[in-house]
Amino acid sequence: MQPLRDAELGASTFFASPLPHDVCGSNGLPLTPNSIKILGRFQILKTITHPRLCQYVDISRGKHERLVIVAEHYEKSLKDLLKQGKPVSPEKVLQVAYEVLEGLEFMNKHGMVHRALSPNNVLLDREGKVKLAKFGLYHMTDHGADVDFPIGYPSYLPPEVIAQGCFYSTEPSIIEAPLPSGPKTDVWSLGVLLFELCVGRQILQNIDISERMKFIITLGCMDDIITVLAEEHGCLDTIKELPENVQALLRKCLTFLPSKRLPTIFKLTNQEIIQSKPPICTLPKYSHVSDPHRSPALESA
């Protein structure tokens, strides 16, 4: 583990899904508690270090499937920028985009997807650099299969994830989980975050959760998602005033078809950030650590 330097330690807690006491596995032995499975998957997360990721430190398992996770933490986040109630400069938007994509690229190379990007989970260190928090929650819970709560925030999830929903089997010991999300899920989430920074406020906050989900799904019928979002929130003029490269970046992230979204491996030099030149992106194939149990849907997403 790398030294945390000026970082603080933060703790978060959640409960794993409890298993029935009278059910055994196919081998006739008791089922392994989900909290034990999560604890096992967490071990690899402690070995993952990157300047754009909040380092995981330790995990503790308590009673009734409770887990407590300790990780690197910073007080400031993108939520604080949005609380100022004014648009963030295009240069800062590009910086955030570049640094978030740096973290996502590293995760993808390790076969991981964040799935829970939100203003609260994109932290900022003392130098204003991005640090992605809770990046391993989706991985350690087996894509959400080992917990009873959804991984991710509805306002930041793409249409294909919301359309999948969550399906439960009639057999209480078996849960039919949707196919795992791929890297392009995080690209959509990033697009929503960047849109919010550009307009200076969070979106889709004034409607209830069911209407919010319906609205996101209907975005698939729209030719220009950015314009629809801007008109819905009365900020079309603000979006039109953005530099062309920032508008292009938003459209590349907020595209209905995952295959047409911006690749997570994104080349943007510091000089281009400062001068707000059009970003340059490459189109490599998604790479990950070999995993015989990995779903092919993750590669095609």
Of 63-72, 117-126, 185-194, 202-211, the least confident: 202-211
pTM comes to 0.84
Asked if the structure places residue 283 within a domain, the reply is yes
Mean pLDDT of 87-99: 95
Sign of CA pseudo-dihedral 145, 150, 151, 157: positive
Which residue range(s) make up the domain with 216? 76-300
Asked if the structure places residue 149 within a domain, the reply is yes
Residue 44: CB atoms within 10 Å: 16
Query: Domains in the chain: how many in total?
Result: 1
Asked if the structure places residue 193 within a domain, the reply is yes
Tokens 């993750």, residue?
298
- Whether the pLDDT of residue 293 is over 70: the answer is no
SS3 59: strand
- Whether the pLDDT of residue 1 is over 80: the answer is no
Asked if the structure places residue 109 within a domain, the reply is yes
**Structural tokens at position 32:** 């392994």
The predicted structure's pLDDT at residue 271: 39
The predicted structure's pLDDT at residue 301: 38
- What would the pLDDT profile of 18-76 be if each residue is shown by its tens digit? 988 777 877 778 889 999 999 999 999 999 999 999 999 999 999 999 999 999 999 99
Asked if the structure places residue 14 within a domain, the reply is no
The predicted structure's pLDDT at residue 69: 98
Burial pattern 122-135, b for ≥16 Cβ within 10 A else e, equals bbbbeeeebbbbbb
How far are the Cα atoms of 11, 103, 125 from residue 106, in angstroms, in the given order? Answer: 24, 5, 19
- What would the pLDDT profile of 239-290 be if each residue is shown by its tens digit? 999 999 999 999 999 999 999 998 866 555 443 443 444 444 433 333 333 3
Asked if the structure places residue 269 within a domain, the reply is yes
Residue 166 confidence class, pLDDT cut points 50, 70, 90:
low
Asked if the structure places residue 214 within a domain, the reply is yes
Asked if the structure places residue 43 within a domain, the reply is no
The predicted structure's pLDDT at residue 49: 96
The predicted structure's pLDDT at residue 239: 97
Per-residue three-class SS string for 162-187 = HHHCCEECCCCCCEECCCCCCHHHHH
CATH of the domain at 155: 1.10.510.10
The predicted structure's pLDDT at residue 164: 86
